[in-house]
Chains A and B, each alone.
Chain A
Amino acid sequence: DTVLTQSPALAVSPGERVTISCRASESVSTLMHWYQQKPGQQPTLLIYLASNLESGVPARFSGSGSGTDFTLTIDPVEADDTATYYCQQSWNDPFTFGSGTKLEIK
């Protein structure tokens, strides 16, 4: 299976720029997607196909990357962005998720 590696946690202050990384154990082309999950809620799609902003998602969120290295950027960060962020690939079978990066807003 394709393993997606994310750093476990980050802490930033409101107004700062934050980048969350996701490294794949093998190429996933640009078939990488990003989700936000707040406590007690289901995940929501932020970015699809590496760099496309899902409808209704603030333009503060952006994604980049291809192959094995991907980045989710939030600029500027707001207090409401406190959540866990997951990457997910759909290039290789089975679909797999990263273990999540917990973002704390100081």
Chain B
Amino acid sequence: QVQLQQSGAELVKPGTSVKLSCKASGYTFTSNHMNWIKQTTGQGLEWIGIINPGSGGTSYNVKFKGKATLTVDKSSSTAFMQLSSLTPEDSAVYYCARWHEGFAYWGQGTLVTVSS
């Protein structure tokens, strides 16, 4: 069965970067695009961007350009998202989600807390 296993919670300091991972299993990793989504109490759900695991091609929500960088490692069927220049506004739960006529499969989420 399809599973997306995300890395554990992160407590990071302002101004630093963090790299989140999402390991896919149960399907051919390169057959579906992978997305990243941010959830906060205040802003709700926000789509960050999408990556084609086969080609590495990416598309970002303009709001997150310069903040998020999406990459993949095909050898380990893992997608990554690096968040840079972190501020308290980046504190959120971040999900990876596989696209197929909707976000059909979601990871369990990674809580990122930005605090000094």
Contacts and interface: CB of A to CB of B under 8 A. Distances in A.
Given A42-B108, A94-B63, A35 B103 contact: yes
Classify the interface of chain B: helix, strand, loop or mixed.
Answer: strand
Interface stretch (B12-20, B24-32, B40-48): B40-48
A97 B45 CA distance: 6
B101 A97 contact: no
Nearest to B63: A94
Given A42-B95, A42-B108, A42-B109, A94 B103 contact: no
A52 B44 CA distance: 24
Interface of B: 35, 44-47, 59, 61-63, 95, 101-104, 106-109
Interface of A: 33, 35, 42-45, 47-49, 52, 54, 86, 88, 90, 93-100
6 contacts: A45-B104, A86-B45, A88-B102, A88-B103, A94-B61, A98-B44
